[in-house]
Structure 1
Amino acid sequence: MIYLLYIFILFILFFLLFYFYFKKNNSQSSIKHLYLEALDMLLSGKKNSAYKNFKEVVTLDSDNIKAYIYIGQILRENNNAKKALSIHKNLLLRSNKTAYETIQIYKNLSLDYYEFGNVEKSILYCKKILDLNKINDWAIKFLIQLYKKSNDWDNAIKYLKDYFSIIGKYDNNKLALYKIQLARFSILHNDFESARSLLERALDLDNELFIVYYFLGNTFAAESNFIFNKSISKDNDNNSLSIENDKNANRLEAEKILTKAVPMWVHFIENMPQYSWMILPTLKDALQALNRYEDIEKYLIQINMKKTNDVDILSHLADFYANKGQVEQALDTINQALDYNDKSLLAQLKKIKIISLKKNEKELSVNIDTIISSLLKDSRYKKYKQSYNDKNMVWLFETNMVYDNEK
């Protein structure tokens, strides 16, 4: 009897063990199925369905950190970054995280903070990823993006070089473009020598990056303005002989520096004549300020030989002849420009000005000059002209970087 009882008890124990083992395996299989189905939904763009599945997964298995990470990701992508951040921060408190899961949590925290506009915190969690994995491709690329967004081009360049080291391939053109952006930022902060040094290094990296000459000219022009403005500020000081001498010295120094901008801009236009509109008005103003107005004709003819019938170059050349009183030559030149492009608003206005001069309507001519000046400064006109075809120009001028005060 006792023997039968033992057998019965053993049978019950065996049955219970088998039942719970089967139930556990079945439950794990169900969780795995739900999780994989959720991943498939997420990849298919069915975020709401994926969210429901992931929620069911964590209900059945509260230790499933990956599912929680995805729940937070979906919330962030559905404009609920606050809830996403809360979920991902709570996951940091879990003690059962793998190294991979920790990296994924840091990645999502970086993206959460980025969504909030907190670039500093976003950078912090990217760097935490690199503490665990120094060659994490995503973290390095996102750090480059973050530093670009915050105009920290020094660090953007640093991590760009790190990225090149990881992939084992250097892109000198891209590195040169980053150095140009850092130089532009240096110009804004009146650090002209550093800007020129960076631009020269950019040319060393890519000697066909002719946009560098545009910015080199800008460094000299900006420095010239900086020094000239110092002489103006002294006008309010006591009018002693020493102060007057200082002002004159500053003005002479400003002219000397501005002179260096001219060949840089000319070289830029010669090699990228399709972008002559970017600098021609400034070049003309600089030559006038230097009492070298006659040189305008020489440079415009020289540049036009590089790209015959460029409407902007011919329009400015016609304007030069008109201002010298050579009206017939001005008319011939502007008609040549309009033959090339009869839709050019600048050329049409220049022609009206020249005709008004021919009729001795000087007041009308002055008014048209005012309109032309306003047009060239108008943001809508600039946007219309800025149809960059050169990939480097697109990257430099159509990124999110803003240089409102750039000279």
Structure 2
Amino acid sequence: MHFTEDLENLKNNKPCSSALVKLRPFIDKNGIIRVAGRLSNSNEHYNYKYPYILPRRDRVVELLIEHYHKKHLHAGPELLMSLLRNKCWILAARRIIHHIIHKCNTCFKSKPRAILPLMSDLPSQRVNQAEKAFTHVGCNYAGPLQYTHLRGRGIRSRKAWLCAFTCLTTRATHIDVATDFSTVSFLAALKRVLSRRGPIKCLYTDNGTCFVGTHSYLRDFYKLIDKELNPRLHEELDENRIEWKFIPPASPHFGGCWESMIKVIKSHLFKVIGQQILSYEELLTVLTQIEALLNSRPLTSMSCDPAEPSALTPAHFLNSFPLSSFPGYPTDSTSLIQRHSLLDSPVQSFWQRWRSDYLHKLQVRAKWNSLAAPILVGTVVVIMTDNAPPLSWPLGVVEKVHPSKNRIVRVVTVKTAKGSFVRPVVRLCPLPNQ
């Protein structure tokens, strides 16, 4: 029962509660509490001038709002309130109307809202000193770009892709060109970066077809070596074996460290060449110059004092060691004689500046600072799909969750009509009426 006390007060000509006193309610001949208001001289119909009063928390009120919402083609909050006020006056109407519309699946599908979990801590390869630059590497493709293999009249253009390798620790970048999107082409680019930048310990990529194909090729190659070659060669190859790791599908933010470099490279490239179609040699020259520019960018703030050392850049960590071996490890001794080589001193000074001047800048979370509601197994979600309108995005059910070290779920397995897929939670929009 609602308004029991107010009904007794009205019958006894006593003041109403604070929720109704501004409406000057009265009881009509049918025993219904209505709003007296100030529209008695209006030419509108009786229900408009004296709408009956309804409570906020009641299932009947929710059903009434849902009926008007669907009847009037999923009207918005303001229009829905205007339609309801033609007959009734719902207390705290705006709040309950927003709540009902928020739970409408049809309205939600037209403008889904994804889950944004707390931004995770940086992985160890971003915040710990490495043996050298390009020990932990993120790789990504960009393009295609148009180029010509020769300069001349009637020469047809061809496609090429940028292949960018980014050191996760020093933020140094190596840019290469792949002439097609295949395993063979990426293997050739990988051999070139290994020859120029030295051994790679761990390689991070997305789930592109060329990356998956190369990973399968190298995995089968290592299996063959394990079976056929002697243990001594096996130990030698084990030292230089690349650990290949994939980020979850459809989750470029997991590779933001190297995705951001792709954005910068493309920005510089298109500003320089515009709509021109370069030859292969010209394209390679421009990309090499962009690489030098990116590796010369300061990682720390620049001082105005000329006595201060120059700002630390990724270039300080490059080409300061033999390409076939690793540099010396840090030591507490200050004597150069006790080091493995004279190059260790500048190398370690660069790493010391990296720890003292650069590392603390990675503390702040730029976004995703609040804990989101955890996604559970069995939750029905709308899966964001690129190049498709929201109303055509498929539905799925969370089949399995994959929590991180701090037990925050950022990746799940979703079961759809076409099978099960691994997806990040930022690409999932849970239906509201669960």
TM-score by length of 1: 0.26
Which structure has the higher relative contact order (CA within 8 Å, separation 6+)? 2
